[in-house]
Amino acid sequence: MLIDVTKIKSSAQTVDEVDLQEKVDAAAYDYAELNLTAPLTFHGTIENVPPYFHLKGELAASLELVCSRCLAPYNLDFVLDIEEAYTNKPEAIIEEDDEIGLFEGDDIDITPALLKALFMELPMHPLCRPDCRGICPDCGADLNRRECACNKDNIDLRLEKLKGLFDKMNSDKEV
Ligand SMILES: [Zn+2]
Ligand SMILES: [Zn+2]
């Protein structure tokens, strides 16, 4: 997603509106884990404050995630505030400051910064819904879809065993 800064680079106007919508191949930017299901949209401004270009705005994206409990894929929408700084003057980058992006020519590619921001927002334990019941560890049934017999049986078996013990204790007492 390129921003053409020709206008704000060399005229009295120093701020420009940014209005981008683009289908992005995240894997091509080394973010293969971002499974984008819709074009990225970015609305904001870019301002020339020499020697920097300040980008400010809002990113909207849709991602397909995989639920960490039931392993079902689901869609999640993101809206993120973005603030970035760019420069075309290498000397303006403070040593070891990788927060400022360097660009050449008239276009700034803001895609890497947007994908990085999205990546940072990925949930550690994605859940298709807050109360996802997950998969039964015994039979593999998706407990959101159907009840399996495992848990119930286990409880019944334990109760049966306890009952047997009690019966035995009682009969022992009676003797
Ligand atoms: Zn789930
Ligand atoms: Zn089960």
Cα(126) to ligand 2 centroid in Å equals 22
Tell me: the pLDDT tens digits for 108-146? 999 999 999 999 999 999 999 999 999 998 899 999 999
Distance in angstroms (rounded) separating the CA atoms of residues 23 and 1: 9
Eight-class DSSP state of 94? P
Q: Report pLDDT for 88.
A: 92
Distance in angstroms (rounded) separating the CA atoms of residues 66 and 127: 8
pTM of the model: 0.79
Cα(155) to ligand 2 centroid in Å equals 12
Distance in angstroms (rounded) separating the CA atoms of residues 23 and 160: 60
Q: Report pLDDT for 39.
A: 98
Residue 66 has pLDDT above 80, yes or no: yes
Cα(130) to ligand 1 centroid in Å equals 8
Architecture of domain 2-121: 2-Layer Sandwich (3.30)
Q: What type of residue is 113?
A: A
Cα(148) to ligand 2 centroid in Å equals 5
- CB neighbours of residue 131 within 10 Å: 8
Confidence of residue 30 (pLDDT cuts 50, 70, 90): very high
Q: Report pLDDT for 173.
A: 65
**Ligand that comes closest to the CA of residue 141:** 2
- Cα three-residue angle 92-96-102, rounded to 5 degrees: 45
Cα(146) to ligand 2 centroid in Å equals 10
Confidence of residue 157 (pLDDT cuts 50, 70, 90): low
Cα(159) to ligand 2 centroid in Å equals 18
- CB neighbours of residue 26 within 10 Å: 20
